[in-house]
Homo-oligomer: A and B are copies of this chain.
Amino acid sequence: MNIQGEATKKPVHKTGENTPGNPAAAAPRASRGPSIADVAREAGVSAQTVSRVSNGLTNVEESTKKRVVEAMKRLGYRPNRAARALKSGRFKSIGVIMFSLTSFGNMRTLDAIATAAAQAGYSVTLIPLEGPTPGMVTGAYDRLREQEVDGVIIIFEAHLLDQADITVPEDLPAVVIDSAPKSGYTMVDTDQAEGARLATSHLLGLGHTNVWHIGGPTTSFSAKHREASWRATLHDAGIEAPPVMNGDWSTDSGYQIGRELARNPDVHAIFAANDQMALGAMRALHELGRAIPADVSIVGFDDLDESTSFWPPLTTIHQDFQTVGRLSIEHLLQKIAGQSPANDATTVGTHLVVRKSTAAPAH
């Protein structure tokens, strides 16, 4: 009420005094909240002083500041970010481009990003993509540029951007997760190589003479990196890597591949590129009567909260999604602030979590 009254009392502006044929009652224009000018009037100061208080500048006398703050409260004033952004060119918002919200790993990373961004006073704008086709990527970029964000975090293979004939505008800070180093972008990611090596070595150390691999999609750098490291680890042990079948991260794809592997009596050790595919593979093994871990050992990658409760509880590689998300934001904010112009690559460590899905081979 009070506010309303004040708000409508707004200035007549200097729009020339001559508007005689005023058409009926002015439309009750969609109530915009009180502006900085309203607060200024209420507090008896200038708009600029209100702005200073609003932005926490120091050079305002204590009593004045108090008066302004009270006026703000009374009017329920909230700064208008659109105006602020228009004026300052800063949006206090970062965009996240990702393909799918259905991959648990991405979810966890997004969660961490959102939390870290919020703590830094940034909001997160989501741009979901439907698939890794050039068109989809382009569309996202257009949208992000329109949206005007201060920077972006991209959670997929950066070379897809290149394929799509896109370069991130040089003035738009970007951080890439799940991509190759030296892609030309700042990068933060889990140490995929270490994780895959840990998983493979664990199985080898148990006495297995070979390790099969359920790979992730070939469009994913994480997947490719994990596979390469698995292959290298086998090679270092003098073992020739068996053929790889690639899933799409989904549980069902793991199940399909798992059925193939389960039918092969030579398979006694499996390294799945993520926990979800490992889960699917375990179902296939169960269905085909292969005991885990007595007959077949399996290791996953991710360490989801759920993996402890898979049956049997899954031995897996722990990924620190939290840290990846946090570091991404940190690096991005630094770039936004104009620091750290280097396109560096940061890697977050992993570790092996041994549970019940692996054991020494029977023979």
Instruction: Using CB atoms and an 8 Å cutoff, list the residues of chain A in contact with chain B.
Output: 30-33, 78-83, 85-86, 89, 91, 93, 100-102, 104, 107-108, 110-111, 114-115, 118, 123-128, 130, 142-143, 145-148, 171, 250-252, 254-255, 276, 279-280, 282-283, 286, 305-306, 308-311, 313
State in angstroms the CA–CA spacing of A83 and B127 once bound together.
21
A123-B125, A126-B126, A305-B250 known; A146-B79 Cβ under 8 A: yes
A80-B86, A171-B31 known; A123-B143 Cβ under 8 A: yes
Tell me which of B128, B146, B306, B308 contacts A114 (CB under 8 A).
Answer: B128
Q: How many copies does the complex hold?
A: 2
Closest to A130 in B: B115
Residues of B within 8 A of A143 (CB): 118, 123
Residues of B within 8 A of A79 (CB): 146
Residues of B within 8 A of A102 (CB): 107-108, 111, 305
State in angstroms the CA–CA spacing of A10 and B362 once bound together.
74
* 9 other A-B residue contacts (CB within 8 Å) besides A123-B127, A251-B309: A81-B147, A82-B91, A93-B147, A114-B126, A114-B128, A118-B143, A254-B309, A279-B306, A286-B311
A101-B114, A308-B251 known; A125-B124 Cβ under 8 A: yes
State in angstroms the CA–CA spacing of A38 and B282 once bound together.
61
Closest to A86 in B: B82
State in angstroms the CA–CA spacing of A101 and B313 once bound together.
23
Residues of B within 8 A of A130 (CB): 115
- The 3 A-B pairs of least Cβ separation, nearest first, read A101-B111, A82-B85, A283-B309
Closest chain B CB from A259 CB (angstroms) = 12
Residues of B within 8 A of A279 (CB): 306, 309-310
Of the listed residues A118, A126, A130, the one surrounded by the most CB atoms of chain B closer than 10 A to its CB is A126
